[in-house]
Every structure is written in C-alpha cells, then in structure tokens.
Amino acid sequence: MSLKNGKKITPDDDGVQDGDIIVNDMNGNMDNSEDSSNDSNTKDVRSFKKSKKLNLRKSPSTDNNVLITDNHHKIKPTCPQPFTKNSKKSRNGKGRGLPKKGGAGGKGVWGKPGVEMFEDGRCNDSHDPNYDSDNEEKFIVEAIDPPIVKEDFEKIVEPLILEYFEHGDTSAVLTELDCMNLGPSKTKMVELVISMALDRKATHREMTSVLISDLYGKFLTSEEVSTGFDDLLGSLSDLTIDTPDAPIVVGQFIARAVADDCLPPKYISKYKGKLECAKSREALEKADVLLNQRHGIVRLDNIWGTGGGIRPVKSLIKNMVMLLKEYLSSGDIPEATRCLKQLEVPHFHHELVYEAVVMMLENSTNRAMVRMCKLLKSLVTSVIITPDQLVQGFKRVYAAMPDLCLDVPNAYSFLEKFANVSYNESVISAELLKELPQRGRKRFVSEGDGGLLKEVAP
C-alpha cells in the first residue's frame, strides 16, 4: 500500500495513471511507506535520492509497455528506459531482448554458433591471411562486342571508304568490316557508299560499283542490298540539293547493280507506278532504259568509262601526245592542265615530261622550246607534276639521246639549250643540269688505222 498526495492506494487500484510514479513533487524524492496502524501521526517515510534508479522488470502480461517495480506496482514509462553500456538489447525499449545479429556481431566474435560445422576449408576473402588464389574456381571471361549504333555508323565507316578511294583494295575493306559489329546498321552501307560517290569522279563511281559487287555474298545479302537502295531512293530528294544529277547517277548505279547480279531484275518493275517522288521515278526510268537497250548488260560494265590506272598505257600515251600538240598550237596552259588532270594518272606524269622534251627536239624551234618550258614551269609550280616525276622524265630523255640523234642530228645542242633555259626558269635543279649528256668528239688517228673512229679519253 502506498500514499499518493496523502491518499492510500493499493497495487490494484485503477487510479494509477500512465507515467505515475510515487514521487514527492516538492523535493523530487520518492516516498514508499507502509501504514503500520490507523494512527495518522506515525509515518515511516523512506526517502531516496532522485538519481537512484528503480529496479524495474518486465511485466509478464501481454502489454509489453507495462513495467512493475519491486513493490509490484504497475507503471507505464513515457520515455526509453536506461540501459547499460555494453547491453546487446534494443535501446529504444521495444526490442525482444535478443542479441544483435543473432550473436554474430560485436568485437571479437567469431560468428554465429554452429557456423564452423559448415566450413569447407576455403577462404573467399582476398584480405584474409589464409586466402589462397589457387583454390579459386576458374572463370571464363568472354569479350562482348556491342553493335554499332546508327549515330556512330557514319563516323566509323566513312574514313574507311575514303581510304578505299585512295588504294582501291576491296579485300582490305572487307577485312575491316568483318572486324566490326555493324548489326542493323549494315543496311546503311550501300546508301553511304553511293552518296559519297555522287560528288566524285567517274573513277570513284566505278570503284564504288566494284566494292558493292565484292561485298555482295561475302558481307551483304541480297535483302540488305535491296534495303540499301530503297533507303537511297527515299533520300534522293535531299541528295539532289547538293548533286543536281543525282537521279541519273543513282539510276546508273541501280542498272550496274542489276548487271552485277547484286539486285534482282524485278527490282525496277516492282516500283513502277508506286513512287510519288519525281526524282525516284526518274532514277528508275534511267535504270530501265539502260537495261533494256541492245547489249545493255555488256555495256553496263563500262558505264562509268575507263579512266585512271585502268586505261591501257598506249591509250594514255596517245592522249598525252594529243594534249601536247594542241598546246603547241594554242598555247593555252589552263586547258592543257585540265586535260592532264582529267586523265587521273599522277603516277604517270613522267611520260608527259618525256613526250614534251622529245616533241620540242623534233620540232627544233625556239617557239616550241619557250612554250614547253612555260608549260613545265606551270605544272611544277602548281605541284601537278612532282619533282620526282620531273627528274624521271628528264633522265628518260638523257637515256634515249643516242636513238634520238638518228632522227634529230642537232638533238644534243637543242637539249643543252633547253636545259639551260629550264634551269634559269627554276624548272630543273643544278644536279639534273650536271647530268646532261655531252656528245663525244671523234677523230681519225691516222690513215693506217683503217678509218676507225676513236673516242677521246676523258
């Protein structure tokens, strides 16, 4: 029995409110006393300091929040109960009283009890002193090559095509493409190559047709080639802005692809009357005309003409001689330069130097000498003829002088005069001038030598 504000209360009294602790509100001390008699003058009050903790234990009732004191008084705390420093119980007063992490946590703990029964002797932690990398399982690592997205397709393939236009080796292009995972972007190959060849020369267009023919069956299927030409026809209106003759050129590419068996012959017929774009209809009409002409398949092999290194050497020499003859009669240097560029044989320009000097010797006039010197100076200054090609052409003339003297007796004197004029105009170097051959002088030694000619010793 206890007193609360001068009244008697029992442990079972329902007047005990939440959080009521028998504490004197005046001095903060708790009063806990028993009445020994009905005499109100006798009280045994035991005072405790406020700092002394109550010995509390959990109620066995279903209410987990109810605590009882040593005197069996039920109380409901309003704040978390005090806890010891190293207690493993929950600090918010709501735990079940179980140890943390099932007894496997804390400093110096070796894990849950019974875990050692399942140890296999292996240590999987690379930071453990007992770790042995030889006991690890073998893992197979496979390299993954992700497909190239459409946004990066042009950035990767365009430099490869530009390099192909320089060397013309289709096998090198095929090797590079096999190393790439183009994925769905493979259908864009035909469209990209032809769009790059539209604003280039006929030689590059011929190389493009050869590349498509070589890629067909090895890298591209018939469906992918057809899809590429479909995309090309769809974008033809945009290509016409930069290349006005794009419909004609695309029609020629389609006809050449049919002749090379890269496209089926029914490709053109399936689009008749179904295209709304006038440019696309024009391209298909051009291809249809080329395929239906007499001997059309045979003629399509040379649809882009024969140019560059594909031409025979005799044909190139003939064109260069005609070029030089027209220049001697007209003196038009820009026209001669344009014709030389149109041949597209920079590796064969030494032949032009050789033919120019030989034609000057055969003409044997000062007019021809001056004009040939001006032409060579213009070509060397604009680096159309490289120094190596110039030197090679002059050395070929030096080597052919004994045969040229048979047709032109004064060839040595004219060549010496032309070499000096070219040196003064900075066409040839001093080293090349020193290599100029001199005609050897010959004389009769005596009548007893039988009329033999002897060269003077140098």
Token code pair at residue 158: 């365009």
Q: What are the structural domains of the chain?
A: 1-93 (no CATH), 150-302 (1.25.40.180), 311-444 (1.25.40.180)
Average pLDDT over residues 239-248: 90
Cβ within 8 Å of residue 129, ≥6 positions away = none
Q: Are 81 and 56 in contact (CB under 8 A)?
A: yes
Does the global pTM surpass 0.75?
A: no
Give residue 342's pLDDT: 82
pLDDT at 30 over 50: no
Buried b (16+ CB within 10 A) or exposed e, 352-378: bbbbbbbbbbebeeeebbebbbebbeb
Count of alpha carbons within 13 Å of 321, Cβ hemisphere only? 9
From CA 295, how far away is CA 298, in angstroms rounded? 6
SS3 at position 67: strand
What percent of the chain shows pLDDT beyond 90?
A: 33
Cβ within 8 Å of residue 333, ≥6 positions away = 327, 374, 375, 378
Average pLDDT over residues 186-215: 90
pLDDT at 312 over 60: yes
SS3 at position 2: strand
**Residue 291 phi/psi, 5° resolution?**
-80, -25
From CA 211, how far away is CA 209, in angstroms rounded? 5
Whole-number mean pLDDT of the chain? 77
From residue 216, how far is each of 189, 197, 219, 297, 302 by CA, in Å? 11, 18, 6, 18, 20
Grade residue 420 by pLDDT with cuts at 50, 70 and 90. very high
Burial grade of 96 (CB within 10 A; 0-12, 13-18, 19 or more) = exposed
Residue 369 one-letter amino acid = M
Give residue 229's pLDDT: 93
pLDDT at 107 over 50: yes
Give residue 59's pLDDT: 45
pLDDT at 193 over 90: yes
pLDDT at 383 over 60: yes
pLDDT at 240 over 80: yes
Grade residue 214 by pLDDT with cuts at 50, 70 and 90. very high
Which neighbouring-strand residues pair with 3? 8
Cβ within 8 Å of residue 42, ≥6 positions away = 36
Give residue 118's pLDDT: 73
pLDDT at 108 over 50: yes
Average pLDDT over residues 154-167: 90
Grade residue 11 by pLDDT with cuts at 50, 70 and 90. very low
Alpha helices in 150-277 (DSSP H): 150-167, 170-178, 188-197, 202-215, 222-234, 236-242, 246-259, 266-269
58 or 367, higher pLDDT: 367
Give residue 117's pLDDT: 76
From CA 334, how far away is CA 402, in angstroms rounded? 34
Average pLDDT over residues 447-452: 50
